[in-house]
Chains A and B, each alone.
Chain A
Amino acid sequence: MKILVAEDEMIMQKTIELRLKKDGHEVTTCSDGREAIQKIEEINPDLIITDIMMPFASGLEIIEAVKRKGDKNIRIIVLSAMGQENVVLEAFQLGADDYITKPFSPNELSMRVKRYSVDTKEVTI
């Protein structure tokens, strides 16, 4: 799967990137909202993993951008911190598919992502 990771915290970014790369996905990373929206146009990812709080554009705005684009097959997983439940709800309202609370184990992320890769596989078939 083509995955776009939007996370401004380096260690998190690296961890997610490495975990997903090891699982065999094609991973692109970016560290702010503006860049993220750009990259969405460029690479057309199957799955976007985005943090909620980021410079220039928040995770929610990224979701909006994706929905505006109109591509129904892009899945979105949101990374939230504890206590940000209401934002998560908003994200879901805007169209996010899943969320993980930090701190999370990389294996958990890996498993969640796998779920979506199955879906997309079916779509392509």
Chain B
Amino acid sequence: MKSFLLRKLSRLQNNILYGMSFSFLVLLFFILFIFKNDNTSENIPIAITGAIIAFVIILVFLFKIDEDRKSGKIAKNDLAANELKYRNLIENAGIVMYTTTIDGYITFATGKAFQLTDYSIDELIGMHFSDIVDIEWLEIANKKYRRQIENNIDETFLEFAIRTKFGDLKWVEQSAVLVIENNVPVGFQCVIKDITEKKEMEEVVRKYEVALVQNQERLQSILDNATSLIYLKDLDGRYLLINKQFKQVLNVTESTVIGKTDFDFNAEEQAKRYKETDEKVIKTCKPVEFEEIIEMDDGKHILLIIKFPLINAQNKLYGISGIATDITERVMQREELIQAKKVAEDAKRLQEQFLANMSHEIRTPMNGIQGMTDLLLDTDLSEKQHDFAKTIKRSADNLVVIINDILDFSKIKAGKLTIEKIDFDLNEIVENVTAVFMHRIREKGLTFTIDVDKNIPPVLKGDPYRLNQILINLLGNAIKFTHTGGITFKISTQEKNNQEVTLNFSISDTGIGIKNDKLNEIFESFTQASVETSRKYGGSGLGLAISKQLLELQHGKISVESEVEKGTTFHFSIPFSCSKTNHKLFFRGKKLKDYHGFLQYKKFLVAEDNKVNQKVIQNVLLKAGALADIANNGLEAINYLKENKDYDVIIMDLQMPEMDGYAATKYIRNVMNISIPIMAMTASALKGEKVKCIEMGMNDYLTKPFDFSLFYERIKMLLDHQSHSDSIEEIEDVDNNELFDLSMLEEMDDSEYLSEILWMYLSHTPVELKELRESVASDDFETVYKIAHKLKSSTGLLKATALFDVLEKIEETAKLKNKNELIVLESLLNTEFNKLEGPLNEYLKQSKKLIKVD
């Protein structure tokens, strides 16, 4: 009330002055008028009252006018203030607002329009709306607003693009209100918002979405097109996803599978198995692979299933995935391959067998012929008989060469030829070869020069037989193809160090020579220099081919030079190892009679099925003063041994009927425990044979046909208890290492101790074994354990690992009181011990010998 009054009063104040001055003037007029007309003092109060009334009335009027005027002003001020407020609101809110005429000319725009369009407000006003719109959107915008006008639509919304003053593209959202006055559209009032950022974001999102969809499509494509069955399961075993192939092969749909587990549509057992593998994957967090057979319409199929864990970005296991690939065909192929391999291996074995048999079949009678011929030549013959016998010998020798060539060639082709590594004397070989050809050289009237380097070590390590073979081949050829002049044979050293020496051989002749274009071919099998050559000179055509192969097997080389009508020179080189042994092991070419008394009174048991060979060996032995019993096969030999164990050497042919050399030796060594040295005689020299012989317990072996002096020397070595260590050294070591190792005992460096220990072991162990057997039979597990434990000590000392292992097993089994297993183990124990006995006995004998020497 007070403020109201105060306001009124303040308003009044301004006007009162006007009013008062005006009414005062009026009053003055009244008074003057009255005084002019009348001199009565009674008129003065009337005049004053009248003036006052007039004053008041005028005041009221003035007041009213003023108030009217004032409220108008206030109203106008209010309006202006409001408008200003409104505008500020819009400006501050960042809204761009503008108005246009109905034709689209901009009449007003808020300040922010500049930021949006880069046009200043002044520039904007008067511009056409379409000057701002981007060309692409012009038509759409125009259409829209025209329609708005036509249809009298109050408000429309449009998203479109604009171009700023500098040509930048911006996105806007516009609300356009149609301004109507007196029912006539007069213009637009637009609020426009910059949505460039939003639009750009939308674009990015859209791109991502496209990529996402594409990615999903690709993944789906993989799933759909994969030829394997693919599925996903959660940790409870519920199917989350299956692919097309899964549906097709197992004939299911999503609805039958998704959300369900294997138990819902598989036999319980099968489902259980699946669950097991699932759990394994979950537990180990590793993939599991296995094969599974399933029944399909066309029969059984084998699937290779790989189940693997699914790990999310937080490294947590959330499911399992499985990929099943049909490998039925592959498995079939695998089976076929295995089968084919077996067939191939069988074929290979058969081929080896054939080679071995063939060798034997052919060499045996040849051996007989040669042996007999030698013996014949050693008897008293007339000159004619001697001549005939010699011719037979020569033919036989030639035939042997050819047979050997063919067999060698087959062996080389089958990859079965072995190269020896034994000590030999080069001079010996040279002498031998020379002796072979001397006669023919003299017959043909040719000269023969030998030049052997003085620096060649006396004993070399290599294959003397093959070297012999090559030299005979080359010298034979040289002589064959030379009719005048002579032959030169040179041996020189090429390289030499402590370990190895390479020898160069050259054989030159002044013969018919070889044509240049044929030089390369002559080393090929079955080719000779010309067809005529083969007709005129004969020969198998294998010689050079074999020589070349043999050289290559020994890491050597061969080459040839020749000039037709002038002569030929063959060069070849072979690396040999230097030997450590001394001369004494080597024999000189002796005649049979030089061995008279060599084996005096020594007793031999010979197991050989071939009658001729029997005779040969018997005679050879008799010539040296030995006594020999002949057995026709392994069985007979064993029978002989059962009656009389007093033989010094057993000569064992390998291939015999009833019981062959291997079986007989095995029996003699393992069952009869006889350690008499056994010399094997074999017609074949296949790789495995050597090892097999030694494994069976043989001490040495010879290949038939053999040189009798070689035979004598090797027998002698056996008798002296020195096996021909060089030729079988590697294999001997292998054998012992497998059974036992006496290095710990040998540390003592005391042969007496060694023998005592060995003797103790060999005599006590059988007793213990017997006791063990009895304890097993009577269920006395405690004693079984004790005995096994006890035996372990000494067995361990001898490092007989196989036996040791069995003993340990027996200990364990005795603790578990498993009688049945103990019985099996006990028999195994005996077998293992038997294996040891022979070699240990041998060792014992050897060390005993050393004691005697000491």
- A-to-B contact residues, CB < 8 Å: 8-12, 14-15, 18-19, 22, 53, 81, 102-107
Contacts and interface: CB of A to CB of B under 8 A. Distances in A.
Nearest to A13: B793
Contacts, number: 57
Contacts of B797: 11-12, 15, 102-103
Contacts of B794: 9-12
A103 B748 contact: no
A51 to B, nearest CB: 8
Contacts of A18: 748, 750, 753
B760 A102 contact: no
A81 B797 CA distance: 12
B385 to A, nearest CB: 66
Contacts of B793: 9, 11-12, 81, 102-103
Nearest to B791: A9
A22 B747 CA distance: 12
B104 interface: no
B790 A9 contact: yes
Contacts of A22: 748, 750
Contact of A107 (B747, B757, B799): B747
B764 interface: yes
Contact of B757 (A11, A53, A102): A11
Residue of A11, A102, A104, A106 with most partner-chain B CB within 10 A? A11
A105 B761 contact: no
A81 B789 contact: yes
Contacts of B244: none
A71 to B, nearest CB: 29
15 contacts: A10-B794, A14-B753, A15-B748, A15-B753, A15-B757, A15-B797, A18-B753, A53-B789, A81-B792, A103-B799, A103-B804, A104-B744, A105-B743, A106-B744, A106-B747
Contacts of A11: 757, 760-761, 764, 793-794, 797
Interface of B: 743-745, 747-748, 750, 753, 756-757, 760-761, 764, 786, 789-790, 792-797, 799, 804
A101 B41 CA distance: 163
B742 to A, nearest CB: 12
Contacts of A81: 789, 792-793
A49 to B, nearest CB: 13
Given A18-B748, A103-B744, A103-B793, 14 more contacts: A10-B794, A11-B764, A11-B793, A15-B797, A19-B748, A22-B748, A102-B796, A103-B795, A103-B796, A103-B804, A104-B744, A105-B747, A106-B747, A106-B748
Contacts of A9: 790, 793-794
B794 to A, nearest CB: 4
A15 B795 CA distance: 13
Nearest to B756: A14
A76 to B, nearest CB: 19
B748 A105 contact: no
A95 to B, nearest CB: 24
A107 B760 CA distance: 21
Given A103-B797, A103-B799, A15 B792 contact: no
A15 B761 CA distance: 12
B746 to A, nearest CB: 10
Contacts of A12: 793-794, 797
A15 B760 contact: no
Nearest to B765: A11
A103 B747 CA distance: 14
A19 to B, nearest CB: 6
Contacts of A15: 745, 748, 753, 757, 797
B419 to A, nearest CB: 39
A11 to B, nearest CB: 4
Nearest to B752: A18
A102 B745 CA distance: 14
A105 B792 contact: no
B752 to A, nearest CB: 9
Nearest to A9: B793
A121 B761 CA distance: 37
A103 B761 CA distance: 15
Nearest to A19: B748
A53 B790 CA distance: 9
